[in-house]
Amino acid sequence: MSLAPLRDDLPSCLEPYLPQPPSAHSDRPFVTVTWAQSLDARISKGPGIRTAISHPETKTMTHYLRYHHAGILIGTGTLLADNPGLNCKWVPQNGDRRTPKPVVMDLSQKWRFEGSQMWELYKKGTGKPPIVIVLGEPKARETGVGYLIVDDPSVKWDTLLRRLRSEFRLDSMMIEGGGRIINDVLMEAGLVDSIVVTIGSTILGKNGVEVSPMHSLTLKHIRWWTGTTDAIMCAQPDV
């Protein structure tokens, strides 16, 4: 799949929200939470249903964000439903290719790298093998895969992100979903640096997976971009 061109005005719009050099005062990565939602705040038609929301030009924006992050993290629901590639297909004019390290949650070890879309992209040389978050020792270690072993089935985001930085040197992390993960991390005070939301001109209905955290969240430094059919909102949590 080739990408639509990146719209000229997007880099300057996104620039203040891109990862900053690692802070000497923090030992967690720079964290961006990003997703594409419908007008009724749904990110898919239902659990386990891969749903296209973004217009090709906002899909390219997502790949531009992937270009600027060291890692990209998704939850088990998304991993099993979407079989995602999680690589970066956007290439700047100078040809400097970069792709993030996928980080996937698979606590109960149901997923295999071999045969997945990530594996296909890795074999083609256009994607990296993932870090898999597992509960307890991995049942089988797959070649190329890194394992982040947790001993508590309820993962603490702050601890997890710090470990991704200290053990795997990932100093910026893009969290793409799904619903449970986004709703959880948005509620963690001081954990999220930037929020980038694509709003598609579609309505997905009550059965859809919703982005709506437990409590309200105030945003600051808000910026909007409008495209052919979608809008993008960039912001920072006001904590």
Ligand X SMILES: Nc1nc(O)c(N)c(N[C@@H]2O[C@H](COP(=O)(O)O)[C@@H](O)[C@H]2O)n1
> Which residues are near ligand X by CB under 6 A?
36, 51-54, 59, 62, 74, 78, 82, 84-86, 117, 176-177, 198
Q: What angle do CA 48, 231, 227 make, to 5 degrees?
A: 115
User: Which C-beta is closer to ligand NAI: that of 54 or that of 99?
Assistant: 54
User: Which C-beta is closer to ligand X: that of 59 or that of 165?
Assistant: 59
User: Which C-beta is closer to ligand X: that of 19 or that of 208?
Assistant: 208
Q: How far is the CB of 137 from ligand X (least distance, A)?
A: 27
Task: From the list ligand NAI, ligand X, none, pick the one residue 59 interacts with, judged by a Cβ distance below 5 to 8 Å according to partner type.
Answer: ligand X
The DSSP output letter for 235 is E
Q: How far is the CB of 142 from ligand X (least distance, A)?
A: 19
Q: How far is the CB of 80 from ligand X (least distance, A)?
A: 10
Q: How far is the CB of 222 from ligand X (least distance, A)?
A: 19
Angstrom distances, CA of residue 38 to CA of 43, 44, 198, 208, 215 = 6, 8, 8, 10, 20
Residues 6+ apart with CB under 8 A from 52: none
Strand partners for 36 = 198
User: Which C-beta is closer to ligand NAI: that of 22 or that of 56?
Assistant: 56
> Does residue 49 bind ligand NAI (CB under 6 A)?
yes
Contact pick of 26, 27, 39, 48 for ligand NAI (by CB under 6 A): 48
In three-state secondary structure terms, 44 is: strand
Strand partners for 146 = 131
175-194 footprint of ligand NAI as x/- string (CB under 6 A): -xxxxxx--x----------
User: Which C-beta is closer to ligand NAI: that of 45 or that of 97?
Assistant: 45
Peptide bond into 178 cis (omega under 30): yes
For 65, the token pair is 């964000």
Strands 131-135 and 146-150 come out as parallel
Task: From the list ligand X, ligand NAI, none, pick the one residue 11 interacts with, judged by a Cβ distance below 5 to 8 Å according to partner type.
Answer: none
* Contact set for ligand NAI, span 93-152 (CB under 6 A): 105, 107
Determine phi and psi for 37, rounding to 5 degrees.
-130, 160
Instruction: Extract the runs of DSSP E, i.e. beta strands, from the chain.
Output: 30-37, 42-44, 71-74, 101-105, 131-135, 146-150, 172-177, 194-199, 209-210, 219-226, 231-237
Task: From the list ligand X, ligand NAI, none, pick the one residue 181 interacts with, judged by a Cβ distance below 5 to 8 Å according to partner type.
Answer: ligand NAI
Interface ranges with ligand NAI (CB under 6 A): 35-36, 43-44, 47-50, 53, 74-78, 81-82, 105, 107, 153-155, 176-181, 184, 209
